[in-house]
Structure 1
Amino acid sequence: MFFFILYCNSVIADCFENAGRDSYIDPDLLRAIARVESNFDHLAIGKNPTKGFGVGIMQIDSQHFSYLQKFDVSPELLLDKCINIYVGTYFLKLAMNRVGNNWDAVGAYNAGFSTKPRQIKKRQQYAKKVRKHYQIIKRKEKPGM
């Protein structure tokens, strides 16, 4: 059983490494987002405050399901750890392409791009949480890994 747990954690780690490499995003930033979004639970289903829900380790929002159908990614496929990590990385990269490789893009991963003061505050709060976990990971205190 111990070997199986180590193998599963290794597979997840490889997915973060591969997705980060393929998208030119620090894999540790992806890990920090996964820590905040799901505490590394690839089966997590999270309810959104207003409507919809998030799925998997990177909490891919249900509002994206119809868009993802174009790529043959169904909601069920999002329960696959690696697919979910790659999809989350894709959406983070879209945010970075739009606003730059910065903490505002990280905040947009969770809170979108609205310029309303409430959403700006949500972006900042989310980015602050991710930054905290990113710094922990960079100190090699990898929680959940």
Structure 2
Amino acid sequence: MIITFFIGSLLISLPALSRDCFDRAGRYYRIDPDLLRAIAFRESSWRGKAMNIVSSTEYAVGMMQIHSQNFSHLATFGITPQKLYHNSCLNIYTGAYYLSIAFKRWGYSWQAVGAYNAGFKINEQQNLKRKQYALSVQSIYKKLKQRRH
């Protein structure tokens, strides 16, 4: 009940620009925008300036918590950690890009959603992390869908 209220309150306060970016990124990558919203809520509570610092070389930035392990690949497109931190729309599109990679690899599945956070390594520990993450996102996703009806 409390989480439903919290998600509902945040949904109402989510900036219009970010809402549009979820919709546009979803259309572009053929991903339900509400699934992107659920991941963003799970990752950052929809905070565009979120930072998760593990060490000086391992950290994640922005609403979709784009991880530093991806920065060298993103640099080939001119995307920097600073841009991801300051541009929520770019951050959302980048998150959708990485989720689309997971869907291409494992199909449109909750396992692929789990890979957004826990990667593709196949072992019992990573399988459990993927499952736990996917269940968390799935719960948020269902609440978002219920609020829309």
Partner of 2:48: 42
Q: Which of 44, 61, 64 is equivalent to 1:58?
A: 64
Runs (4 or more) in structure 1 with deviation over 6 Å come to: none
Partner SS, residue 52 of structure 2? strand
Partner of 1:96: 103
Q: Which of 88, 93, 96 is equivalent to 1:81?
A: 88
Deviation, structure 1 residue 53: 1.0
CA distance in 2, matches of 1:105, 1:48: 24
Q: How many residues align?
A: 135
Instruction: Give the structure with the higher percent helix.
Output: 2
Partner of 2:8: none
Deviation, structure 1 residue 23: 0.7
Q: Is the 8 A contact 2:50 2:63 kept in 1?
A: yes
CA distance in 2, matches of 1:9, 1:16: 11
1:125 aligns with 2:114: no
| Superposition TM-score, scaled by structure 1 size | 0.89
Output one character per residue of 1:65-93: Cα deviation in whole Å (capped at 9) or x when no partner.
01000000011110210000000000000
Q: Classify 1:98/1:20 alpha carbon distance in 2 versus 1 (closer, same or farther; 3 Å).
A: same
| % identity of equivalent residues | 45
Deviates more, 1:84-93 or 1:132-141: 132-141
1:14 aligns with 2:14: no
Deviation, structure 1 residue 48: 4.4
Q: Which of 4, 24, 31 is equivalent to 2:30?
A: 24
CA distance in 2, matches of 1:91, 1:36: 16
Partner SS, residue 80 of structure 2? coil
Q: Is the 8 A contact 2:14 2:46 kept in 1?
A: no
Partner of 2:3: none
Q: For structure 2, which runs of at least 5 residues remain unmatched after alignment?
A: 1-11
1:67 aligns with 2:73: yes
